[in-house]
Structure 1
Amino acid sequence: MNAEPIKVEPIATVIGGRVDPTDDHWGGTRAIIRLDPAYPLEVVQGLEEFSHLIVVWQFHRASPQDIALHARSPRNNPRWPATGTFVHRNHRRPNQLATSFPRLLSVDGLDLHVADLDAVDGTPIVDLAPYFQELGPRGSLRQPDWPGEMLKHYWDDPTGR
């Protein structure tokens, strides 16, 4: 491609929550998305009215050597079919970015208290917005069986609560 590179700067950082990334058991995880203190408080005005956020974040612990532009079985499980890079939702992507949909618990100044954010402490946040259900998927959803099998325990609470 001949497109110019896009410069993206973090707007916030994840504080607290999980320290180590894992494949499953993200349910109940609470963290703070701490926005850049240089931003005026007005940037979050009205955000507390929403239940969920769309958060774009960087796999900051991954390296460029982790990028895998080929087909492979999800989680290297041979029971699941080999699928291409853009069928996976992991750090092996070219820009090593992820999207999550955490619950917004409260807004305290520039600290956004969230639950079910599957990013670890120290993760750079590159963008966020409230989730509008009107802009969610339209029509019926379709997917093969393997994502449901693979993610069966993704949102389990690690404490068993």
Structure 2
Amino acid sequence: MSHQCNTCQEKLLKLNQQVSVMRKEMKNLRQMLDSATRAHRKQLTSLQSVLTNIDRSELCKAQTPNITSASPVSALEQGVIQTAPIGYIRSCFSAKNGTPRQPTICGQARAELRIQNSVFNNPEHALVGLEQYSHVWVIFMFHKNGHLSAKAKVKPPRLNGQKVGVYSTRSPHRPNALGLTLAKLERIAGDTVYLSDIDMIDGTPVLDIKPYIPDWIREPPVSSLDVRFTAHAEKQLSEFVPSGCNDQDGPKFQFLRSTKEATAAIKAVLSADPRSVYRRERCTDKLFYFTLDAADVTCWFGQGFAEVLQIRPLHIQLK
């Protein structure tokens, strides 16, 4: 009798062990199924975004003039360009994980950018003068996005799941996968720029770099000019109607809100002397024209001053 009981207990123990194994396998299967379901939903969402972008692209192609056979200048005027990196970042960050989400977080984060010979025959010449600045703007491509789709709303990591518009964030997933960052300029050696405080990973394609000029307004390279208006120009300007005012006749500004604001804007433009070096040196006896909002401004420059001669609506052509 005891032998039979022992046999039954052994069988029961084996059955319990088998049931335990089956439960674990079922749990693993459920987890795998849940994971596959989530991945499938994610792929469907990504596919929907891609299809939406394709539809938008086809719509844009239908609405946009054919530029495939157009000249580079014509394509540029329509906002379509072909880009080529000026160089690639060599960074202390080899992958996205751990890379700062924005610059100036990690001062010890260093990188190098070597300007390629395919851009300039003497790339070091393009860097002359850049050493005068403490920081540079770097325009680059998010080359590790993994897909080309972009959503109008995203969830930035620092907002804990809150959705906001993509243009209010630095999300890499954008209609045009371009990034802009501010980096500290450590030094320049030949054709190579040494940076720190960076937030770019190794291999990042760089499209352009520009100096960061925080004191541009306070320390202009050209002395400010005194700006004068002739009585005729002042009278013409007074005939313009501010934006948002629909109960008056006359040429109407689209952006400027008053004659006073228009006067200040014209003075700001001319006091900084918008002429090129060639015009300043070779065309001192010629009139200067520029447009501001709905106004066509004519002026001339003297020694240390600019005088506005006339201000006419854009739809009236000069004779």
With structure 2 as the length reference, what TM-score do the two structures score? 0.39
Deviations 1:85-136 (Å, cap 9, x if unpaired)? 1112121111111101100000011110000121111110001111111469
Structure 1 residues 49 and 4, CA, compared in 2 at 3 Å: closer, same or farther? Answer: closer
Would you say the 8 A contact 2:110–2:197 is kept in 1?
yes
Change (3 A) 1:24 1:118: closer
* Distance in 2 separating the partners of 1:124 and 1:68: 20
Is it true that 1:69 corresponds to 2:144 in the alignment? no
| Cα 1:95–1:48 shift into 2, 3 Å | same
The amino acid that maps onto 1:24 is P
Q: What residue is the counterpart of 1:44 in the other structure?
A: 127
Cα offset for 1:18?
Answer: 0.8
Displacement of 1:4: 5.1
The answer to whether the aligner puts 1:122 opposite 2:198 as a matched pair is no
- Does structure 1 residue 9 correspond to structure 2 residue 84? yes
Measure how far apart 1:50 and its partner are.
Answer: 0.7
If you compute each CA radius of gyration, which structure gives the higher value, 1 or 2? 2
Structure showing greater relative contact order (alpha-carbon pairs closer than 8 Å, 6 or more residues apart)? 1
State whether structure 2 residue 190 is matched by structure 1 residue 97.
no
Once residues 81 and 207 of structure 2 are traced to their aligned partners in structure 1, the CA distance between those partners, rounded to angstroms, is 12
5+ long unaligned stretches in structure 1: 137-161
Structure 2 unaligned blocks of 5 or more: 1-59, 65-77, 218-319
Equivalent-residue separation in structure 2 for 1:42 and 1:24 (angstroms): 32
Give me the whole-angstrom Cα distance separating, in 2, the residues matched to 1:44 and 1:133. Answer: 19
Q: For residues 49-99 of structure 1, give each alpha carbon's deviation from its aligned partner in whole angstroms, at most 9, with x where no partner exists.
A: 11000000001111344x332223322723xx3211111212111111110
Q: What is the count of residue pairs matched by the alignment?
A: 133
CA distance in 2, matches of 1:106, 1:17: 17
Residues 137-156 of structure 1 aligned to structure 2 (within 5 Å): none
What CA distance in whole angstroms lies between the structure 2 residues aligned with 1:109 and 1:88?
35
What is the alpha-carbon distance in structure 2 between the residues aligned to residue 72 and residue 42 of structure 1? 41
Q: Which has the higher helix share?
A: 2
Residue 72 and residue 121 in structure 1: after superposition, are their counterparts in 2 closer, same or farther (change >3 A)?
A: closer
Aligned position for 2:140 = 57
SS at structure 1 position matched to 2:126: helix
